[in-house]
Amino acid sequence: MGITAMQWVEGILWLDGPTPHGALNQLLTIGLIPLALLAQAWGPLLGSTFELPVRGRRLPFFLLLIVGLTIVVAARVVYQPTYTQVTPQGHLNWWSPRNPPVYFAWAYGLWAAVIGAPFLFWWRPFWQALLIVSWGWLCATVSFLLTDSAASHWCFFVSFYAAFVLIYACMVRDAPKLAPPG
């Protein structure tokens, strides 16, 4: 699930219609969407711990953890969405009661930075990290500029991450870890 959890939640919402003010719609919007958003921010970050211990990078690691949580909580407290609705262009709006939703460019950019930061900070070779993040940021920018729901193309952003990492994991063999002496 991880970073692509939002696609699963949105898929269930589309199966429901999404029915305005329906019980399933409200449960997903209030309960699961915040968790799926946290998975977008925390998935790459926590996944990086399988390769790099937190010990040598505590400050940036925990700062990204806190910033991701703060953004999700602040967005939910400020906008207080109780159900997901369909925008005039046919996208899902789980962000705010206002339809179509309004996204602030600085908040949108900050969210993109939080999701991309673990790749840029700790994925090597760096050109691969830049490729992953640039593709995602391009999709997010196009969505922000051309649709009535800027979050509508985040699925391309996070799905490309997940697909790239899955393909990479299948192509690269893990180096055997040497047992510590003694």
pLDDT digits (tens, 9 = 90+) for 125-150: 899 889 888 887 888 888 888 888 88
The pLDDT assigned to 135 comes to 81
- Residue ranges of domains in the chain: 2-171
| Residue found under tokens 């400050």 | 59
- Give 81's DSSP letter: -
Residue 95 near residue 151 (C-beta atoms within 8 A): yes
CA distances to 49, 54, 164 from 83, in Å: 35, 37, 32
Instruction: Give me 107's structure tokens.
Output: 């908040």
pLDDT beyond 70 at 177: no
57 falls in which pLDDT band (50, 70, 90)?
very high
By C-alpha distance, which of 168, 99, 112, 167 is closest to 139? 112
For 101, left (φ over 0), alpha (ψ -120 to 50), or beta? beta
Distances (CA, A) of 86 to 4, 10, 178: 20, 11, 54
**103 neighbors 157 (Cβ within 8 angstroms):** no
